[in-house]
C-alpha cells in the first residue's frame, strides 16, 4: 500500500523527536517512515550544527531539511555562543545553505534584556534580508507559588505582538492553557508553521505528547487548516524519550505521522458545502520543567 499523500502540506519530523538519540537517527527514521522532511533543532549534538554533515545526511537519505530551529532553548543557551543575534544569523545561514524555508525562533528570555528590547524590530530586519521565514513560536507562562510568571519578553503570546509569521505549538498551548483553535483562527495567514504535538497541561511540564494522547484539539486543528488550504509545514515535535528501544520509538513516530496525515488529508479531500448546498464553504529535550530561583528568576530545571 502506498503512503497517504497530504495535499499541499509537508509532514516533517523534528530531530528533537528522536531524543536521546542523535540527529542522524532522525534522518534515518524520517526516510524509513516516509516523512516529507526534517526540522533540525540546533543543539549540543555537533552534527546538528554542521551544515556539511546535514547536507550529506539529507542527500544520503533523500530527506530534505525543511526548517531550522534556532538554538534558543534553555538547554541550548551556549550553542553557537552567547549572542542571541549571532544564533539567529547562523540559523538563517544554515537554512539558506540547506534550502530550508523556515527558521523557528522563540521570543527572548526576560534576562536577555537588550535582545528582548530589540527582538521584534530585529526579526523584521532579518526578514527583509532573506527569503527564509522567521516564525516566532508561541510559548507559555509558568506558575509557581500561586503566581503566574512569564520567562519571555516582550511576551510569550504571539497574539499580542505584530510578528508576520508564527509557529503554533500545541504542547505549548496545553501548558499555557490557551485555546489552540481560537489562536489559530485569530492568527489567520500569520500562522506559517505548526508544531504538531499534544499535552495535558499543568505541572509546568512541556510534554510534547504524540497527537491524540492529550487534551489538545490536534485532529480538529489539522482539519481546520486543511479546509483553509494551509500549505505550510506540519512538524511532528514529540517526546519519545521513554521509548524502550529504536523499534518502539519508530512505532510512536509512525503513529504520529499517520494521525497527522489522516486528519489533514481527510479534511482536505472532503466535499465542500456552501450555504445553498452547492459546495463546501471552508470551516472557520527540548522539553523542560521550570522553577523560580530565590532571586525570582525563572529558570529551566530537569
Q: Where are the domains of the chain?
A: 11-270+282-301
How large is the C-alpha radius of gyration of the chain?
A: 19
Q: What is the dihedral of CA 101, 66, 18, 169, to 10 degrees?
A: 40
Q: Return d(Cα 44, Cα 42) in angstroms, integer.
A: 7
Residue 268's pLDDT is 55
- CB 296: neighbour CB atoms within 10 A? 8
Q: What length is written for the chain? A: 302
CA dihedral 118, 131, 42, 72 (to 10 degrees): 20
Cβ(169)–Cβ(221) below 8 Å? no
Residue 209 β-bridge partners: 198
pLDDT at 267: 64
- Provide the pLDDT for residue 288: 46
Quick one: which of 63, 77, 74, 65 has its CA closest to 40? 65
pLDDT of residue 175: 94
Q: Give me the long-range contacts of 241-244 (CB less than 8 A, separation at least 24).
A: 241/19, 241/20, 241/285, 241/287
One digit per residue, pLDDT tens: the chain, 302 residues? 445 444 579 999 999 999 999 999 999 999 999 999 999 999 999 999 999 999 999 999 999 999 999 999 988 989 999 999 999 999 999 999 999 999 999 999 999 999 999 999 999 998 899 999 999 999 999 887 778 888 999 999 999 899 999 999 999 999 999 999 999 999 999 999 999 999 998 777 899 999 999 999 999 999 999 999 999 999 999 999 999 999 999 999 999 999 999 999 876 555 554 444 444 433 335 554 444 343 434 444 33
The domain made up of 11-270+282-301 has a fold known as: TIM Barrel (3.20.20)
> pTM for this one?
0.86
Amino acid at each position: 500500500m502506498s503512503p497517504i499523500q497530504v495535499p499541499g502540506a509537508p509532514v516533517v519530523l523534528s530531530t528533537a523527536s528522536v531524543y536521546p538519540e542523535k540527529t542522524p537517527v532522525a534522518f534515518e527514521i524520517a526516510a524509513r517512515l516516509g516523512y516529507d522532511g526534517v526540522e533540525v533543532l540546533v543543539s549540543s549534538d555537533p552534527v546538528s550544527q554542521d551544515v556539511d554533515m546535514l547536507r550529506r545526511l539529507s542527500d544520503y537519505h533523500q530527506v530534505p531539511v525543511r526548517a531550522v530551529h534556532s538554538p534558543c532553548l534553555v538547554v541550548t543557551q551556549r550553542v553557537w555562543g552567547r549572542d542571541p543575534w549571532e544564533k539567529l544569523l547562523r540559523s538563517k545561514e544554515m537554512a539558506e545553505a540547506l534550502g530550508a524555508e523556515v527558521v523557528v525562533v522563540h521570543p527572548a528570555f526576560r534576562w536577555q534584556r537588550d535582545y528582548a528590547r530589540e527582538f521584534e524590530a530585529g526579526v523584521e530586519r532579518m526578514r527583509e534580508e532573506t527569503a527564509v521565514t522567521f516564525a516566532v513560536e508561541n510559548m507559555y507562562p509558568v506558575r509557581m507559588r500561586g503566581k503566574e510568571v512569564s520567562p519571555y519578553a516582550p511576551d510569550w503570546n504571539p497574539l499580542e505582538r505584530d510578528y508576520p509569521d508564527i509557529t503554533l505549538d500545541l504542547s505549548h498551548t496545553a501548558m499555557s492553557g490557551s485555546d489552540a483553535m481560537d489562536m489559530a483562527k485569530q492568527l489567520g495567514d500569520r500562522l506559517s508553521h505548526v508544531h504538531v504535538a499534544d499535552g495535558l497541561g499543568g505541572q509546568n511540564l512541556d510534554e510534547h505528547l504524540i497527537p491524540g494522547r492529550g487534551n489538545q484539539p490536534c485532529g480538529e486543528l489539522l482539519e481546520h487548516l486543511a479546509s483553509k488550504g494551509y500549505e505550510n509545514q506540519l512538524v511532528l515535535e514529540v517526546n519519545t524519550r521513554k521509548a524502550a528501544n529504536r523499534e518502539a520509538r519508530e512505532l510512536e513516530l509512525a503513529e504520529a505521522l499517520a494521525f497527522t496525515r489522516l486528519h489533514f488529508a481527510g479534511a482536505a479531500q472532503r466535499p465542500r458545502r456552501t450555504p445553498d448546498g452547492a459546495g463546501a464553504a471552508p470551516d472557520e529535550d527540548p522539553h523542560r520543567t521550570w522553577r523560580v530561583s530565590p532571586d525570582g528568576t525563572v529558570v529551566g530545571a530537569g
